[in-house]
Amino acid sequence: MKPDLTIGAKHSIRITVTNKMFAQFEGKVVHPVYSTAMMVYHMEWVSRQIILGVLDETEEGMGAEVKVKHLAPATEGTVLTLEATIVGLKKNFIITKVLVLSNDRLIGEGEVTQVVLPKRKIEALIDYKNN
């Protein structure tokens, strides 16, 4: 991993809530609002974008832990901004704090931990699980 990451580095994305992002199980919508599962997905995605430019060809990042608080609903058409900020760098672990905002309203917050590993180690772990 290139040494370009620093505490305080940020990245953000904007998404618009669609009906495909609603809280649902087995195809049945439970609530017509942005689901916690989609929030976790987008938190991981914005956090991953921070590390993409610093990975060596032989490395890959993997999610290691996600902590999330879903604080308010967001209905279809709501534009959300997800802001990730690096708050921790420990060896090959990158920790980001993520805020999910609709204008100034806090929809969710959390923390994503990623680990950077050699691709061959990841492949070995996957092969081990498949055997």
CATH class of 10-130: alpha beta
Phi/psi at 20 (nearest 5 deg)?
-75, -10
Report the relative pairing of strands 28-34 and 22-25 from DSSP bridges. Answer: antiparallel
Q: Hey, where are the domains in the chain?
A: 10-130
Q: Which of 79, 74, 76 is nearest to 16 (CA)?
A: 79
pTM of the model: 0.92
Residues in the chain: 131
Predicted pLDDT at 130: 64
pLDDT at 117 over 90: yes
User: Using 50, 70 and 90 to split pLDDT, how confident is the model at 126?
Assistant: confident
pLDDT in tens, 30-40: 999 999 999 99
